[in-house]
Amino acid sequence: MKLAKTILACVVALALVGTMAMSALAAGAATATLTADKATAAIGDEIVVTVAIECADDQLASGKLPIVYDAAKVEFVSSANVVAGITNTAEVAEAGTVKNSFMFQGAAGATAVTLYTATFKAIADGEAVFTIADGNYATDAEDEDYELATAGCTVVIAAAETEAPTTEAPTTEAPTTAEATTVAPIVETTAAPASVVTPSEEGTAAQKATPKTGSDASMAIVAGLVVLAGAAYVATKKSK
């Protein structure tokens, strides 16, 4: 009985030692993140997604961090390494996944490392979600795996705005009507010519217009009497 207890105690002790040893060999925690260069985009815009990782130590050596994206919203354009001294491959394994793996020559030498960028083109409106695919991993220089957590990003794509053509309302100008100017006819008035009176006519007219004076009347009476006297004398002669 005592022997059985002793053996059981040894097994438990060995299990604890093994667990502690495995914990000591573990690389530690790490977080891989995707970050987009913009929160919103229009159809036709390019979106640059950066892949970075932060580890518990500076011994990052290699890993595999594929990007999953919505092929109905964006299309893969290209990728580029960011950090020096890294061998990185990125290619489209299939529509919707960018296959990626990286390896340092030795260790990264830093706890936070920006690995590479992937450029996409927006092709449809909606939310474009980028995540790190399953099957990802990261190891240290001793080829020990980090306990890796991941974080993606989202970009809202809007349809490109098109300016509505500005249509100017036609301007209708009222026809200009020439103002009728009524000019009063000029009536030439011709004055009647002045009567020209000759000197003789002037005298005759004067005589006609001048009334007879008293002397003229006396002479006329005398003349009448003389005529009557003469007539009487002739009549007397005939009667003898």
**For 210-239, what is the mean pLDDT?**
66
Q: What is the pLDDT of residue 211?
A: 47
Q: What is the pLDDT of residue 221?
A: 74
**For 31-59, what is the mean pLDDT?**
96
Q: Which residue reads 């053996």 in tokens?
A: 7
Q: What is the pLDDT of residue 44?
A: 96
**For 229-237, what is the mean pLDDT?**
70
Gap between the Cα atoms of 28 and 144, Å rounded: 9
**For 62-70, what is the mean pLDDT?**
94
With a CB cutoff of 8 Å and minimum separation 6, the contacts of 32 are 51, 52, 53, 63, 65, 132, 136, 138, 148, 149, 150, 151
pLDDT band, very low/low/confident/very high, at 104 (cuts 50, 70, 90): confident
**For 137-158, what is the mean pLDDT?**
96
- % helix, strand, coil for the chain, step of 5: 25, 35, 40
Q: What is the pLDDT of residue 14?
A: 47
Note the CATH architecture for domain 26-158: Sandwich (2.60)
- The domains of the chain are located at 26-158
Residue whose C-alpha is closest to residue 103's, from 69, 67, 72, 139: 139
pLDDT band, very low/low/confident/very high, at 143 (cuts 50, 70, 90): very high
Gap between the Cα atoms of 64 and 100, Å rounded: 6
Q: Is the pLDDT of residue 68 over 80?
A: yes
**For 17-36, what is the mean pLDDT?**
68
Give the dihedral of Cα atoms 232, 238, 239, 240; nearest 10 deg.
120
Q: What is the pLDDT of residue 124?
A: 97
Q: What is the pLDDT of residue 207?
A: 45
Which letter does DSSP use for residue 110 in this model?
S
pLDDT band, very low/low/confident/very high, at 25 (cuts 50, 70, 90): very low
pLDDT band, very low/low/confident/very high, at 225 (cuts 50, 70, 90): confident
Q: Is the pLDDT of residue 71 over 90?
A: yes
Gap between the Cα atoms of 52 and 116, Å rounded: 7
Sign of CA dihedral 92, 97, 99, 100: positive
Tokens of 122: 């927006």
**For 77-88, what is the mean pLDDT?**
80
